[in-house]
Chains A and B, each alone.
Chain A
Amino acid sequence: MNSEEILLKLAECVEFGKVNNAAPFPPTMKGQDGADELTKQALEMGVRPVDILNEALIKAMDRVGEKFTQKKIFVPQMLMAAKAMNASMEHLKPFFQSGEVKRKGKFIIGTVSGDLHDIGKNLVAMIVEGAGWEVIDLGVDVSAAKFLQAIKDNEGAVVGLSALLTTTMQSMKNIVAEIKREYPNVTCLIGGAPVTDQFREEIGADGYSSDPQGAVNYLNALVA
């Protein structure tokens, strides 16, 4: 295989969630090398880490995000694509750490205080990471203080806030207000089932997305 072929194969593994050779999913790719093996092979072949990220991972995850928006795939396919992407990313970590491969920016994300729901938040985190951003995931039930600390520790980061319950939308309102008070220039992106663009306007947040790919498009536009 030449480098073009291996990148195509790797992208296919990420898009369809083929994590490694031993993985039984998807059934159509049984017994084939997965994202794990192919990334290792690509690096050994001399394929540049930045090309692996851009040509294979980002392109594949972009397709995954689009298909999810179009309801052509569902949560399981997203989760497996993300798992395959993570298997590949493991091999790229040293290059991120050394600074050889730069990412587009930092994205802090958390489910707001009082809310324990994380599936949506996790999907956004996975897709944004797959788009080439560094994601700092604060988890669930995240207080204003915790968000503020993360902002302090990660200068220039964009902040994403998630809520699934209407009852915790109040929490989102309070946290955005506190963030804007302390750090008026920090960009806040919100989302979650009961959240709307109107709510975004009401609470003074900067962006709203109804799905993970929307978050990617918003973030990419910030650094375009």
Chain B
Amino acid sequence: MKKISQEILSGKILISDGAWGTFLQQKGLLPAECPESWNILHPEKVFEIAQSYIDAGSNMIETNSFGGNRFKLSFFGKEDQVYDLNKAAAEISRKAAGPDKYVLGSIGPTGKFLITGDVTEDELYETFKEQAIALEAGGADALIIETMTDIDEAKIAIKACKENTSCEVICTMTFDKTDEAVFHTMMGVTPADMTTELVDAGADIIGANCGNGMENMVGITKEIRATNNKIPILIHANAGAPVFQNNETLFLETPDITAGFVNPLISAGANIIGGCCGTTPAHIKAIAQVVKQK
């Protein structure tokens, strides 16, 4: 298979996948249950999620490994299962993706702070290295470092992936909009800062995920593109902000609403479009339909 970046350079718009967390919850993942444990305990359910996105038209799917770092797994006493859980995650998605769709190994934040000395750079590097190697061994084509808010943690993750695998490296951050319509991650990083630093650090593809519906993502994409006019951009918007109504969680951006923003997102500079929290195979199908018509 060609590298994802090469496909982008040849002008293609690619379709990524949708939410895993909310999908796992739908399939019965309990609150405070370890999502990665399902790769061993309920691999068939994880496979169903992966397959649903392939069926909906995704060119690439992620892996159930978002919290698969040593620090997050230690909450469940599974810090010694980093390799097994991540490898299994990639294997499941690889099976669903077959030989001609991409598998993106998901790497999420550790939740530990460098600035306070909570964790050292070496410790972060080591756990991201562990995950990256295991994901590649399970069949990942690329590694997607996502939902990052700290620029230093993101750079260390990129380095760990680049130096220990031959996978393409994608890195996305989560931004909040302030009242004055400025975007920052909770650690104070702007889309412009992110672009300069992550491209410098060697990321092949950058972007944003979570925290925002499609409209804000158009704004974020514009800022990224204004800083760098070449780097491939991946966007995973939420299906809007979740609301708690009648004792259930609802995401108010329907597939139609999401689809309505696809062309503006592409005009803003996005090259790969998928979804984050609350998005479903129906969202991906709707996105794919718009892209097909281009």
- Physical interaction between A and B: yes
Chain A residues at the B interface, C-beta cutoff of 8 Å? 25, 71, 73-77, 79-80, 83, 113-116, 118-119, 141, 165-171, 173, 194, 199
Determine, out of B50-58, B109-117, B212-220, B229-237, the stretch whose residues face the partner at the interface: B109-117
> Does B242 lie at the interface of the complex (its beta carbon under 8 Å from any beta carbon of A)?
yes
Note all chain A residues with C-beta closer than 8 A to B241. 194
- In the assembled complex, 29 residue pairs joining A and B whose CB atoms fall closer than 8 Å, in A order, are A71-B178, A73-B188, A74-B186, A74-B187, A74-B188, A75-B149, A75-B187, A75-B188, A76-B113, A76-B187, A76-B188, A79-B115, A80-B115, A80-B116, A113-B31, A115-B31, A116-B32, A116-B75, A141-B32, A165-B31, A167-B31, A167-B249, A168-B31, A169-B244, A169-B249, A194-B242, A194-B243, A194-B244, A199-B244
Determine whether the beta carbon of B244 is less than 8 Å from that of A115: no
Question: In chain B, what residue has the closest Cβ to A76?
Answer: B115
Note all chain A residues with C-beta closer than 8 A to B242. 166, 194
Considering the chains assembled together, what is the distance between the CA atoms of A199 and B244 in angstroms? 8
6 nearest CB pairs, A to B = A114-B31, A74-B188, A166-B249, A166-B242, A169-B244, A166-B244
Judged by DSSP, the binding face of A is: helix
Give the one of A25, A71, A141 with max B CB within 10 A. Answer: A71
Give the A-B pair count, Cβ closer than 8 A: 58
Note all chain A residues with C-beta closer than 8 A to B179. 71
Determine whether the beta carbon of A79 is less than 8 Å from that of B188: no
Note all chain A residues with C-beta closer than 8 A to B31. 113-115, 165, 167-168, 171
Q: Taking A79-B115, A119-B111 as contacts, is the C-beta distance between A114 and B32 under 8 angstroms?
A: yes
Considering the chains assembled together, what is the distance between the CA atoms of A199 and B115 in angstroms? 34
Nearest-CB distance from B31 to chain A (Å)?
Answer: 3
Note all chain A residues with C-beta closer than 8 A to B113. 76, 79
Considering the chains assembled together, what is the distance between the CA atoms of A165 and B248 in angstroms? 11
Determine whether the beta carbon of B247 is less than 8 Å from that of A166: no
Give the one of B31, B111, B115, B242 with max A CB within 10 A. Answer: B31
Q: Taking A25-B115, A80-B115, A199-B244 as contacts, is the C-beta distance between A71 and B184 under 8 angstroms?
A: yes
> Does B228 lie at the interface of the complex (its beta carbon under 8 Å from any beta carbon of A)?
no
Given A75-B149, A165-B31, 6 more A-B residue pairs with CB atoms under 8 Å apart are: A71-B178, A79-B115, A116-B32, A141-B32, A166-B249, A169-B244
Judged by DSSP, the binding face of B is: loop
Nearest-CB distance from A72 to chain B (Å)?
Answer: 10
Instruction: Give B173-185 as 1s and 0s: 1 = Cβ < 8 Å from A's Cβ atoms.
Output: 0000011000010
Question: In chain B, what residue has the closest Cβ to A195?
Answer: B244
Note all chain A residues with C-beta closer than 8 A to B32. 113-116, 141
Note all chain B residues with C-beta closer than 8 A to A199. 244
Considering the chains assembled together, what is the distance between the CA atoms of A97 and B116 in angstroms? 27
Considering the chains assembled together, what is the distance between the CA atoms of A176 and B150 in angstroms? 34
Q: Which of A25, A116, A119, A167 contacts B25 (CB 8 A)?
A: A167
Note all chain A residues with C-beta closer than 8 A to B149. 75
Considering the chains assembled together, what is the distance between the CA atoms of A83 and B116 in angstroms? 7
Note all chain A residues with C-beta closer than 8 A to B178. 71
- Residues of B186-218 at the interface with A, using a CB-CB cut-off of 8 Å, are 186-188
Question: In chain A, what residue has the closest Cβ to B186?
Answer: A75
Nearest-CB distance from B186 to chain A (Å)?
Answer: 5
Nearest-CB distance from B207 to chain A (Å)?
Answer: 21
Question: In chain B, what residue has the closest Cβ to A23?
Answer: B117
Note all chain A residues with C-beta closer than 8 A to B75. 116
Question: In chain A, what residue has the closest Cβ to B150?
Answer: A76
Give the one of B178, B188, B241 with max A CB within 10 A. Answer: B188
Determine whether the beta carbon of B184 is less than 8 Å from that of A74: yes
Considering the chains assembled together, what is the distance between the CA atoms of A80 and B111 in angstroms? 16
Note all chain B residues with C-beta closer than 8 A to A166. 242-244, 249
Note all chain A residues with C-beta closer than 8 A to B25. 167
Nearest-CB distance from B77 to chain A (Å)?
Answer: 14
Give the one of A25, A115, A169 with max B CB within 10 A. Answer: A169
Note all chain A residues with C-beta closer than 8 A to B116. 79-80, 83
Nearest-CB distance from A23 to chain B (Å)?
Answer: 9
Question: In chain A, what residue has the closest Cβ to B75?
Answer: A116
Considering the chains assembled together, what is the distance between the CA atoms of A116 and B76 in angstroms? 11
Considering the chains assembled together, what is the distance between the CA atoms of A113 and B32 in angstroms? 8
